[in-house]
Amino acid sequence: MRNHLLHAGLCLAITAGLFSVAAADTETPAADAPASPSAARLTPVVRIVNRACQSTVNIHTEKRQKSLDVVFSATRGGNKINGMGTGIVVDERGFILTNNHVVQDVESIRVTRDTGEQYVATVFQTDAKHDLALIRIVPREPLPVIPMGTSSDIMLGESVIAIGNALGYESSVSQGIVSALHRDVTAGEDQEYKNLLQTDAAINPGNSGGPLINMDGEVIGINVAIRAGAQKIGFAIPIDDARLAAARMFNVERTNNLYHGAVVRDHKRGSLRELLVQAVKPNSPAASAGLMPGDVVVRVGSTAVVDGADFERAFLDRKATEKLAVVVSRGGRQESVDLELAGLRPENATAARQAVPSTLPTATPAPSGVRADRVWEHLGLRTNPIQKNDARISGLPYQGGMLITEVRRDSPAAQNGIKRGDILVGLHSFETVKENDVLYVLNLPDFKDLATLKFYIVRDRETLFGHFASGVK
């Protein structure tokens, strides 16, 4: 039985002020003058919560109820469903880490900070297998980033704090201990978790995506699930595992059609936390810059680097040929090299990339007949491209689409309610403007590992979506 959770916590804003006892013959202080809490009340837990709440956000979502006759999750006249969750700020530019199940298939995302500021968020990248996602807001000023710890030295029984949007009670705080390590949990037919932390800190639905924090004020886990019918049995994704997933989601190959050519590895053993260069691809920007296996990356541009997530996010919003100073520790001393990102070449495509269709690889394409046969074989579709000015999609936010001209009986497409005349506008996380875009998704290196393959179609000028089950090949 699947139960999603996020930790909760009362975010305490500590207001500085003056406290004085007025003598009988002195003027009484203004009634609204704030009083400072005593030193005894400003405990380590209070200080930790105060700092963590600045980087923890409450998430509210909205989506349409699923149709009863097809698996589309957005149909005309469907009832709206409100959802909730939590997230943590992992980059000052507005990138927030949360659980994938918090934002999966939603139509709108609203983020509220502990200050009361509200933002509309968009999904940046997702990792359904590990139930993690990155969403993004455009903040009015740089956001405070929550301090990151490590799950490599977590001790059984150590004290932890959970913060989250528990049952809609925003920014709720609870405290407990680490109850167990390395739990494997099955949550329904479509989600399995490995190596989870177990805690007795109070976690409720809405806590999903929130932080589990140690007594150093560092995040050591992302709250993800609770045990139905039990009390004080909650689970969190270890932060080291979550950071590995975040690095993949931040990767410039996936997000910006660029690459650096450095193969890096997180090395975390308690207080020792560093990023090692494991290999450098020949003729890559990293090779040209002079990066070497064994280097420890210290900084990229203005971003201090502790792990792969830091390394990858340092390249966000950068352009090809833009020079970035990469500081490494080599042979006991620090050296700086200049690295210029390059446009992604097909032979360097080691990870799935989110890219506009015009930039999808076209090197050595299969003959059109072979492409059409493959799409027919795997999905059961025959399609023809249409332009963005076609009346059937004009005014909609698409660069074009693939008009479905035939659907094979008993195919994955037919089983999911797709019909002749529908327009395929997206597959997985990619737009589908031409046939080669569909083929590109079928050729993704991690295609076989996808639990589901999401698709988007336009029917009667309304966008619908659904999922092909795993194993569509």
Distance of CA 411 to the CA centre of its chain: 32
244 within some domain: no
Listed as ranges, residues in the chain with pLDDT below 50 are: 1-29, 67-77, 346-370, 470-471
Strand-pairing partners, residue 176, are 160
Q: Are residues 125 and 220 in the same domain?
A: yes
Q: Are residues 313 and 377 in the same domain?
A: no
240 within some domain: no
Q: Are residues 6 and 88 in the same domain?
A: yes
Rounded Cα distance, 337 and 40, in Å:
49
Residue 319: how many other CB atoms lie within 10 Å:
9
Q: Are residues 32 and 148 in the same domain?
A: yes
Query: Counting Cβ atoms within 10 Å, is residue 219 exposed (0-12), middle (13-18) or buried (19+)?
Result: buried
- Catalytic residue, from 91, 105, 114, 131: name it: 131
- The residues, ordered by sequence, that sit 6+ positions from 83 with a Cβ below 8 Å of its Cβ are 60, 61, 62, 63, 102, 106
256 within some domain: yes
The reported pLDDT for the residue numbered 362 is: 31
Q: What is the pTM of this model?
A: 0.67
- C-alpha pair distances (Å), 281 with each of 170, 260, 301: 46, 9, 21
End-of-domain residue from the set 231, 260, 275 = 231
Query: Counting Cβ atoms within 10 Å, is residue 393 exposed (0-12), middle (13-18) or buried (19+)?
Result: buried
Is 101 a catalytic site residue? yes
The reported pLDDT for the residue numbered 472 is: 56
Structure tokens at 112: 């509220």
Is 60 a catalytic site residue? no
Distance of CA 286 to the CA centre of its chain: 26
Q: Are residues 375 and 313 in the same domain?
A: no
- Catalytic residue, from 55, 171, 179, 208: name it: 208
The reported pLDDT for the residue numbered 451 is: 58
Rounded Cα distance, 171 and 7, in Å:
9
- The residues, ordered by sequence, that sit 6+ positions from 347 with a Cβ below 8 Å of its Cβ are none
Q: Are residues 100 and 225 in the same domain?
A: yes
The reported pLDDT for the residue numbered 454 is: 80
271 within some domain: yes
Q: Are residues 46 and 170 in the same domain?
A: yes
Q: Are residues 134 and 24 in the same domain?
A: yes
CATH of the domain at 222: 2.40.10.120
The reported pLDDT for the residue numbered 394 is: 79
- The residues, ordered by sequence, that sit 6+ positions from 217 with a Cβ below 8 Å of its Cβ are 47, 48, 51, 52, 147
Q: What number of residues does the chain have?
A: 473
The number of C-alpha atoms within 13 Å of 314 and in the hemisphere containing its C-beta is 24
139 within some domain: yes
Q: Are residues 367 and 341 in the same domain?
A: no
Range of the domain at 269: 251-346
Rounded Cα distance, 192 and 286, in Å:
36
The DSSP symbol for 367 reads P
End-of-domain residue from the set 323, 346, 369 = 346
186 within some domain: yes
- Catalytic residue, from 4, 7, 60, 101: name it: 101
301 within some domain: yes
Q: Are residues 412 and 303 in the same domain?
A: no
Q: Which amino acid is at 418?
A: I
Q: Are residues 7 and 92 in the same domain?
A: yes
Domains held by the chain: number: 3
236 within some domain: no
Structure tokens at 262: 């450095």
Is 449 a catalytic site residue? no
Of 56, 267, 296, give the one whose Cα is nearest residue 150. 267
Structure tokens at 256: 């910006």
The reported pLDDT for the residue numbered 446 is: 64
Rounded Cα distance, 419 and 71, in Å:
13
The reported pLDDT for the residue numbered 347 is: 40
End-of-domain residue from the set 203, 231, 259 = 231
Q: Are residues 341 and 403 in the same domain?
A: no
The reported pLDDT for the residue numbered 352 is: 31
- C-alpha pair distances (Å), 234 with each of 179, 214, 223, 224: 9, 16, 8, 8
CATH of the domain at 372: 2.30.42.10
Structure tokens at 126: 């997702």
The reported pLDDT for the residue numbered 80 is: 74
